[in-house]
Amino acid sequence: FVDVRTEKCMLIYAFFFLQYLDFAEFEDTLKTFLKECKIKGKPLSKSTCGSLRDPKSLKFQRDLLAAFDSGDQKVFFRLWEEHIPRPIRDGDSLAQKLEFYLHIHFAIYLLKHSAGRPDKEDLDERISYFKTFLETKGAALSQTTEFLPFYALPFVPNPMAHPSFKELFQDSWTSELKLKLEKFLALMFKASNTPKLLTLYKENGQSNKDVLQQLHQQLVEAERRSMTYLKRYNRIQADYHNLIGVTAELVDSLEATVSGKMITPEYLQSVCVRLFSNQMRQSLAHSVDFTRPGTASTMLRASLAPVKLKDVPLLPSLDYEKLKKDLILGSDRLKAFLLQALRWRLTTSHPGEQRETVLQAYISNDLLDCHSHSQRSVLQLLQSKSEVVRQYTARLINAFASLAEGRRYLAQSTKVLRMLEERLKEEDKDVITRENVLGALQKFSLRRPLQTAMIQDGLIFWLIDILKEPDCLSDYTLEYSVALLMNLCLRSAGKNMCAKVAGLVLKVLSDLLGHENHEIQPYVNGALYSILSIPSIREEARAMVRKRARGVSHHPSVPRSEAVSARTSQLEELLDGVLESDDDEDEDDEEDHDTMEADLDKDELIQPQLGELSGEKLLTTEYLGIMTNTGKARRRGTAGVQWGGPEPLRRPVTPGGHRTGYPA
């Protein structure tokens, strides 16, 4: 044994082992163990553990309590040492503290219970016994604040009068101590039925299970945060490059006007300084001469200097045949985890070759069964009875639709469009499912054939109907509904549809002009500007303006009149600037772009339990395929960036693309 603490620990566990052998009736092993302990100089006896289950233990408890009450110190501690195992007495903190107070009880017993002056010889003997205890076994508690004052007790001439020991001489203190003793004895004999070693094993096993479960949940949460941060980084990086590119073009234009006195250098300086990071603003404002031609645009373009990035590895190939089989025939929980994992592959992959390779693998293996004529297909999961499966299918389709190649894949047949329209009109339970279906349809509206199909299916009327009460919609639903309506209204067929309910369309859109969500304003203006090119709608709008103007003039004190007046003015401005003819039928197809939104992975419904696989680990463990991702995926060039300015939108856009500055 290395030290005293190690020795005590070893004795405690030796006792636990002895107790277990006796409990399990390993007689031969028990005898051998006792013999070896004796040889090692650490003698234990079978009676040590056997006494705890001895039928005479009740008599021992009665005798012990009787000695406590009568103040028979010698009998009490003889019974205590005989029947309370030494490992418990020396190693258990509860037993050590109780024994300390018991020594105090017997040391002051004569002072509390003598009618006159206590016998001096007997009192001195008790005090001496207590001092010996303090100097030997009781020394272990000398550093404990709770017991420190009692080390002075043997040296106080009249402890009954000392304020520090006043509590010891109250009857309540003795009663409480006896109650603690009874509880300790009851605990000892109750615990003896089950060996301590077995109890430790069971408790430790449960504890390990709880810790493992907790660590598993922390791992899931860490992976979720990691994906969120990665997407945020990718989005910020894309926003940065788009912003700097646009700004460089803008600064070139502004610098060209300096010599023509159309704009002041001070204004140019303020614009350029605002575009730099907060850390650079102050130094740039004082140290850079923005009146020199080319200064600002050169600095901006310099910030776009290519940075050498580490090669991003391609993700492992998957067994898509097995994947699709489990997506159709598996349990709802498995389907949900697979749909989630497949979506995460798209949303968390690095933009560029890695993401394009993932998407190309999905498309080449017809992951969503867009070309399948089978009655059971992955697309049918949109109609699943499981709310989670429906939602996760919609999320995956929305992720596909966020990428130009994904839209091209989904648009090859109107089957996907019809299923999404049906789900959109039927889904009234799950807001997130409807948001993702709507988001996918809005992105579909970038493609002219799908625009035509949506207009023919009467989707404009459905949109107008839900936009009557915009405050009942989530921000995502409101923004994407208005953006989808605008894209459909840019087509002549869409304008003609609006002409059938011109009054209602104008009322809804003009009310939205004053909505507190300013993100929708470009789409509201774009929709109004487009439909006002139709003479019948324009006349309806002029009549509405005149009617509202009369209403405001008749009731100037009405609180809403100021807001109504503002919206009326906006409508008048659009009427004054609208073109007589805005035919778009001869325009080229849309300029497609990729915009992966953070909302695609928000508010996940399912979390893996202990032992369940999810995400990339699920795919690479259960569905690993033959490596085919070796070729370079096709890389599309980025279309030239053009400054949009404050004018109404005249080409189809998505909210994500509009925010990041992609051309419409």
For the ranges 54-63, 151-160, 346-355, 502-511, which has the lowest average pLDDT?
54-63
* Whether the Cβ atoms of residue 397 and residue 440 lie closer than 8 Å to each other: yes
Q: Pick the closest to residue 37 from 14, 53, 57, 60 (CA basis).
A: 14
Say whether pLDDT at 578 is over 60.
Answer: no
Residue 284, pLDDT score: 45
Mean pLDDT in residue range 431-451: 90
* Whether the Cβ atoms of residue 486 and residue 523 lie closer than 8 Å to each other: yes
What is the rounded distance in angstroms from the CA atom of residue 491 to the CA atom of residue 496? 9
Phi then psi for residue 318, to 5 deg, are -120, 160
pLDDT: which is higher, 424 or 300: 424
Mean pLDDT in residue range 103-113: 88
Residue positions counted in the chain: 664
pLDDT: which is higher, 67 or 229: 67
Where do the DSSP E strands lie in 51-93? none
C-alpha dist (Å) from residue 403 to 234, 358, 529: 15, 12, 28
How crowded is residue 198: how many other Cβ atoms within 10 Å of its Cβ?
Answer: 14
pLDDT: which is higher, 244 or 552: 244
Phi then psi for residue 624, to 5 deg, are -70, 130
What is the rounded distance in angstroms from the CA atom of residue 448 to the CA atom of residue 451? 5
Output b/e per residue, 474-483; b: 16+ Cβ within 10 A. Answer: eebbbbbbbb
pLDDT: which is higher, 274 or 265: 265
What is the rounded distance in angstroms from the CA atom of residue 247 to the CA atom of residue 425? 42
Which pTM does this prediction carry?
Answer: 0.55
Say whether pLDDT at 663 is over 50.
Answer: no
Q: How far is CA 640 from the centre of its chain?
A: 38
Residue 664, pLDDT score: 37
What is the rounded distance in angstroms from the CA atom of residue 194 to the CA atom of residue 214? 29
Say whether pLDDT at 455 is over 90.
Answer: yes
Residue 281, pLDDT score: 43
Q: Pick the closest to residue 46 from 10, 11, 18 (CA basis).
A: 18
Residue 142: pLDDT band (50, 70, 90) is confident
Token pair, residue 624, equals 């690993």
Q: Which residue has the tokens 């940065």?
A: 240
Terminal C-alpha separation, the chain: 81
Say whether pLDDT at 77 is over 80.
Answer: yes
**Of all residues in the chain, what percent carry a pLDDT higher than 90?**
26
Say whether pLDDT at 446 is over 60.
Answer: yes
In 413-534, where does DSSP find H-type helix?
Answer: 414-426, 431-444, 448-456, 459-466, 475-489, 492-500, 502-512, 521-531
Q: Pick the closest to residue 246 from 639, 594, 643 (CA basis).
A: 643
Mean pLDDT in residue range 126-144: 85
For the ranges 102-111, 299-308, 467-476, which has the lowest average pLDDT?
299-308
Residue 88, pLDDT score: 83
Is CATH 3.10.180.10 what the domain over 317-457 is classified as, yes or no?
Answer: no
User: Three-state SS for 624?
Assistant: strand
Task: Report which listed range, 306-320, 534-548, 646-660, is most confident.
Answer: 534-548
Q: Pick the closest to residue 633 from 354, 371, 363 (CA basis).
A: 354
For the ranges 19-28, 122-131, 351-360, which has the lowest average pLDDT?
19-28
Say whether pLDDT at 272 is over 90.
Answer: no
